[in-house]
Structure 1
Amino acid sequence: MSEQYEAVFAQYDTDGDGQLTVDEVTAAIAGMFPAAEVNDLSGIVKALFVEYDTDQDGLLSVAEFVPLAKNLPELGTGD
């Protein structure tokens, strides 16, 4: 796994437990859009979890996050 994706994952894993919660992913996505553009991120985040939470535990591991990050370069791997 690429170190750059692990670093981005760690940035969003605010409690440091090695998993991204719905709230952590919501905060990450919220940082991508001005508040005026997106009032309710719950539908977007729910869709992301349906697609990327492959073990369906309600959390994203690093392995589940990497494909998401590759498809959403706005998550910050370029900076």
Structure 2
Amino acid sequence: MSERYVAVFARYDTDGDGQLTVDEVTAAIAGMFPAAEVADLSGIVKALFAEYDVDHDGLLSVEEFVPLAANLPELGAED
């Protein structure tokens, strides 16, 4: 597993529990786009969880996050 993606995961895992919540993913996506560009991220985040939350627990593990990050290079962009 790419150390780069693990580091990105850790940056977005704000509570440090090893899982990304809907709120944490929403915050990560919101950081990529100006507020004026995307008014409501709930549909985007819902679609991401539908595709990448393979165990359907409502959370993204690091294993589930890596394919998402690989498909959304903006998630790996440095602040």
Report the TM-score when normalising by structure 1.
0.96
Report the TM-score when normalising by structure 2.
0.96
CA RMSD of aligned residues (A): 0.7
Residue aligning to 1:61: 61
Counterpart CA distance in 2 for 1:7 and 1:66 is 11
Counterpart CA distance in 2 for 1:5 and 1:44 is 20
Residue aligning to 2:42: 42
What amino acid maps onto 1:21 in structure 2? T
| Partner SS state of residue 37, structure 2 | coil
Q: For structure 1, which runs of at least 5 residues remain unmatched after alignment?
A: none
| Partner SS state of residue 17, structure 1 | coil
* Cα shift at 1:57: 0.1
1:33-62: CA deviation from partner (whole Å, max 9, x where unpaired): 000000000000000000000000000000
Runs of 4+ in 1 over 4 A off after TM superposition: none
Residue aligning to 1:25: 25
Counterpart CA distance in 2 for 1:69 and 1:3 is 12
